[in-house]
Structure 1
């Protein structure tokens, strides 16, 4: 079996241990890689350590022993879409997009083209000048996705993206993911929506009680569960 080139790895994570307070280890021995064009699903029950894993690789936890490299040489770029929408109450949707573009260093022409395309794709043109505090949960989630897709990074880190999305928005999001994967971006996505994950993810990391219970393709997960014909949901139920 031919091993992948290191340049194909856009996210390399090795977490020895991590927690929110010193001596309070929530996750340990979690390692995985995301390659160009790959969609890796981070799955597990509530409280298993998925959010802690993402916070650790983003460098948000003080008490962590971990090595994380983005891009083949560790100098790549990423975009993060959080589970809970984060916004400034005094800024409109368009101003949020503009602020994010400035943070990413986008020139105005590139920003304007990308922002208007995303507004059309997610059906948010009519609220571009509105304050997000008045948005529905689904609209706030769309806003977070648009902020993440303004740029074209090496890897997307997406935390529970389907919460609050209607079927049309879900389809638009999946279409964007597919476009970015064809470009060569990798995706790490945590999700509870296992039927969708089974259909779109290349491979999985199943976390349970702060450890990796199984990882690999669906066939690998089935083998670990001892269920050769099972769905991802049934394997999840057996392993988590």
Structure 2
């Protein structure tokens, strides 16, 4: 079941940015959120994680809603933001311990998963470091470790490749595919279209706060009346529609 967004209208200070947005992120699939700057991608994610409250519509993860069961809802989700958010007074080890407590995870099992990820992202010798000593890319890796060591049903990653070196990008994609094979859902906002096309099962294309198209690449081709197109072609066509709305 995983993520279901139905008729979502929302935004900031009663000004709707999203208008009647509906889509699903099924179990065991990677869904890429694609759109121009200002299309509403970050606003969509903020509503899903509970930073913003919908004006209309519903958001459910495995049938749970934030309004009815906030703790259980949040424990279904692991989130990697575009800009890393770490506590300056906590070491890397303490960030991991805090995540274990927040998700009510088994301590020993979770540390086993964490140690594997720490080694993969070359952070295993930095457990006593504070965030001030990490580069942006290293801070992003800490966020990835803290998210993917959980047993969440839904992983939300916002522009995940920003600040990562090619090896770390490959490691992240490996972990994402492992979670997919385990049956989890991955919702990924990105401008790296070739990577999205290679790894995502489905796509949600946002334009002016509305879902312009949704589905597999083949289904997007049909909705844009194109054939043998790649995601770049479709994205450029959507850009043209914005430039020439009356065409």
What is the TM-score of this pair, normalised by structure 1? 0.91
The correspondence of residues 74-223 of structure 1 with structure 2, limited to 5 A, is 77-223=76-222
Q: Which runs of 5+ in 1 are unaligned?
A: 1-8
- Work out which of the residue numbers 4, 9, 18 in structure 2 matches 1:17: 9
* Contact 1:21–1:63 (8 Å) recurs in 2: no
Q: Distance in 1 between matches of 2:58 and 2:28?
A: 22
- Judged with a 3 Å threshold, the aligned counterparts in structure 2 of structure 1 residues 15 and 141 are, in CA distance, closer, same or farther, namely farther
Q: Distance in 2 between matches of 1:53 and 1:66?
A: 12
Q: Distance in 1 between matches of 2:192 and 2:7?
A: 25
Partner residue, 1:27: 18
- How far did residue 126 of structure 1 move? 2.2
Matched residue of 2:164: which SS?
coil
- Judged with a 3 Å threshold, the aligned counterparts in structure 2 of structure 1 residues 73 and 58 are, in CA distance, closer, same or farther, namely closer
38-47 vs 99-108, greater mean Cα deviation: 99-108
Q: Which runs of 5+ in 2 are unaligned?
A: 66-71, 240-247
Q: After the TM superposition, which parts of structure 1 deviate over 6 Å for at least 4 consecutive aligned residues?
A: none
Q: What's the C-alpha RMSD, in Å, of the aligned pairs?
A: 1.5
Partner residue, 2:36: 45
- How far did residue 72 of structure 1 move? 4.8
* Contact 2:4–2:61 (8 Å) recurs in 1: yes
* Contact 1:36–1:186 (8 Å) recurs in 2: yes
